[in-house]
Amino acid sequence: MVIAIFLLLAAMYNSSVHPVQSGGGTPYNVQPASDEMTANLTYTGPPTSNIDFWQLPLWILVLQLQPFFEYSILRQFGTLLSYKWLNGDPLGNDIRLRLLEYVKKNPGVRFSNIIRKTAINRGTALYHLGVLEYFDMITRFKSFTGASTAPYY
């Protein structure tokens, strides 16, 4: 990619330094067709000045407030979606029930063994074990045997 950009810049530099050659080999220079083209490049209007924030159009002012609206909408949806999670039945899910039964049968089991024996994805198991831990149905503690800090349940 860097080489392509370098070659593009080299080609642009090369074409701007040397005049264009016609078919017969004689160079020629490109000039504007009329003086109107050069006149359009100069600004002859009133002097520019800074404007105040409140002088901006209304639609620009509303766009400035957009991040606050998005945050409040996301917060309301989060409240609605977490209501069922916080006030619902923690054992209403089959995966959670299966995880809880396995942990009760095997107290002190490692997380890797839970995943292996129950055949549940790692992320799914982490989520559902977190819900069970939130409702105080299981407790997690870390063991410092050797270099391992794997959680036991």
DSSP conformation letters of 30-55: ---SSHHHHHHTS--SPPP----GGG
Looking at the fold, whether 93 and 73 belong to one and the same domain comes out as no
Would residue 79 count as lying in a domain?
Answer: yes
Looking at the fold, whether 125 and 100 belong to one and the same domain comes out as yes
Range of the domain at 74: 57-84
pLDDT by residue, tens only, the chain of 153 residues: 667 776 766 666 555 445 555 566 666 676 767 766 666 666 677 777 788 878 888 888 887 877 776 666 666 666 666 666 666 777 888 999 999 999 999 888 888 899 999 999 999 999 889 888 888 888 887 765 655 545 666
Looking at the fold, whether 104 and 122 belong to one and the same domain comes out as yes
Q: What is the pLDDT of residue 38?
A: 64
With a threshold of 0.75, does the pTM exceed it?
A: no
Domain tally, the chain? 2
Query: What residues contact residue 143 under an 8 Å CB cut-off, 6+ apart?
Result: 149, 150, 151, 152
Q: What is the pLDDT of residue 31?
A: 72
